[in-house]
């Protein structure tokens, strides 16, 4: 049985022969040597890849606060008070940092599990307050009320509508639309035609400018 010193000597000798000075680079360019390296009982230590490492609170508490903030109309101070009623001293600035860190990661991980949308889209925009400024919220849902995609925009014009159509067609859980129902906004026809010419939207898709069809958009479920 080789001693630990002999094992490391063999490993360092092999690295020098291959012309590499980094273990990570060595295994990247020499994957077959990993089995030889482990043959002598020298195991590499994997780093902890948990996104909650070094966090003061449990992951369940962090995810709960982030979900409540994104799902309901709550402020950071509301969540601070709600956690205080449950015996947890959480500052509102801490909740803000959690949302900035984990909201986008949650959104990315739940996307593959969303229900496939229908083929009849309803698109609408509304003016909402975001922080200290107001923006236009573009939103697309199917006829069942399931959210397909949404986007915040500072303007309400042809360029903003085209950018939203482009983002909408990149959604992983959408089916190709047969019809897209919009309101009487004058920017939609030009944006729709241009998007078809640029092959963003299917050529057989039809635009319907019927206002009552978008009632489900305004009365739909909150954004996730």
How large a percentage of the chain has pLDDT more than 90?
37
3: pLDDT confidence band, cut at 50, 70 and 90? low
Superfamily of domain 120-218: Ribonuclease H-like superfamily/Ribonuclease H (3.30.420.10)
Of 180, 43, 204, the closest CA to residue 117 belongs to 180
* Alpha-carbon span 198 to 159, nearest angstrom: 13
* Alpha-carbon span 27 to 18, nearest angstrom: 11
pLDDT higher than 80, residue 134: yes
* Alpha-carbon span 222 to 45, nearest angstrom: 44
pLDDT score for 22: 44
Of 156, 116, 143, 151, the closest CA to residue 208 belongs to 143
Number of helices and strands in the chain (H, E): 9, 5
| Span 146-179, pLDDT tens digits | 888 889 999 999 999 999 999 999 888 888 999 9
CA angle in degrees (0–180, nearest 5) for 177-183-187? 85
Global pTM? Answer: 0.59
pLDDT score for 20: 41
Q: What is residue 112's three-state secondary structure?
A: helix
């Amino acid at each position: 049985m080789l001693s630990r010193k002999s094992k490391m000597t063999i490993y360092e000798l092999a690295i020098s022969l291959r012309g590499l000075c980094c273990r990570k680079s060595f295994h990247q360019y020499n994957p077959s040597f990993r089995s030889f390296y482990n043959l002598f009982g020298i195991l590499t230590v994997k780093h902890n890849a948990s996104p909650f490492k070094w966090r003061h609170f449990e992951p369940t508490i962090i995810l709960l606060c982030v979900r409540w903030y994104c799902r309901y109309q709550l402020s950071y101070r509301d969540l601070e008070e709600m956690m205080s009623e449950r015996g947890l001293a959480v500052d509102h600035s801490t909740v803000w940092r959690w949302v900035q860190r984990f909201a986008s990661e949650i959104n990315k991980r739940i996307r593959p599990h969303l229900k496939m949308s229908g083929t009849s889209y309803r698109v609408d925009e509304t003016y909402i307050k975001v922080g200290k400024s107001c923006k236009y919220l573009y939103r697309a849902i199917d006829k069942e009320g399931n959210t397909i995609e949404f986007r915040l925009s500072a303007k309400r014009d042809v360029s903003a509508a085209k950018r939203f159509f482009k983002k909408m067609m990149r959604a992983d859980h959408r089916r190709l639309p047969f019809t897209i129902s919009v309101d009487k906004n004058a920017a939609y026809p030009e944006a729709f035609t241009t998007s078809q010419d640029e092959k963003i939207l299917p050529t057989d898709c039809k635009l319907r400018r019927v206002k009552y069809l978008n009632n489900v958009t305004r009365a739909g479920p909150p954004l996730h």
